[in-house]
Amino acid sequence: PIVELREYTLHPEYAAAFMKATKATAALRQEHVPLRFFSLPETGGLLNVATHAYCYDGGHSERETRRTQLAAQPEWQAYMDNCRPFVASQQSNIFVEARSLIKEFDSVQGLTKAVATVAATKAAGGNEQDENAILELRRYELKLGYDTVPKFLELYGNGLPSKLATLGDPATTTTTLLTVLYSDVGRLNEVVEIWRHRGGTTAMEEARVAARTATEWKQAIAQIADLALEFQTTIHRPASFSPL
């Protein structure tokens, strides 16, 4: 399985038009490709970057087949022709989910299972906090080396239980770690944490304050710092049609 993270830098004056056209074709997109989230950053770096992720359980071959089928749709072709002037640049990178963490921690569901959980919650009447949900992307650029990412994941996994414990009951917490990704094609040795805060930035700040009491987590981060060249955190607002 692979996760494709696509980032389109939009011309600011056309960002609203791009999102309107994208919303109008959201059903077509989700019919043909496994969209997991679609968002725009609110703060933490470059703005007006349409950020969307797709999970292909069948790997690269599934990605190629699905994208070819989508590209053949007349409605999609019209959408692309309409939106091409709105986009300044496009970037695509392939990641892999850290399956060891997903298997070890029940609350870390992975993107596909998280989509199903959110959909079930909405079908059952939803939660008013979900309307304020934000995504937090925490990105680490690590030093070069074959063992750097495995070492990062080992340290991260050792410290994570103490951090998750500060969030309270997984069934009621407003902050959830959706997944941890590491790059496979594109800029290598990049790791991305994706957190979902149902209560918006208030929930995010509460989670950060609570994490400062997690001794093992702080020790892990201190060791991870020796592996990292750069760290960035960005707050994203999901589009209305985004599954997450």
Backbone angles phi, psi at 188, to 5 degrees: -80, 165
CB 179 within 8 A of CB 98: yes
Between 119 and 184, the more confident residue is 184
Q: Which residues lie below 8 Å from residue 72, measured CB to CB, with a gap of 6+?
A: none
Residues 60-97 have pLDDT tens digits of 999 999 999 999 999 999 999 999 999 999 999 999 99
Q: Determine phi and psi for 39, rounding to 5 degrees.
A: -150, 170
DSSP code of 131? Answer: G
Query: Kindly report the CA angle at 8 between 3 and 11, in degrees rounded to 5?
Result: 170
- 128-154: pLDDT as tens digits: 567 899 999 999 999 999 999 999 999
**pLDDT tens across 11-37, in order?**
999 999 999 999 999 999 999 999 999
Residue 128: per-residue pLDDT: 57
d(CA 239, CA 103): 29
Structure tokens at 41: 């950053």
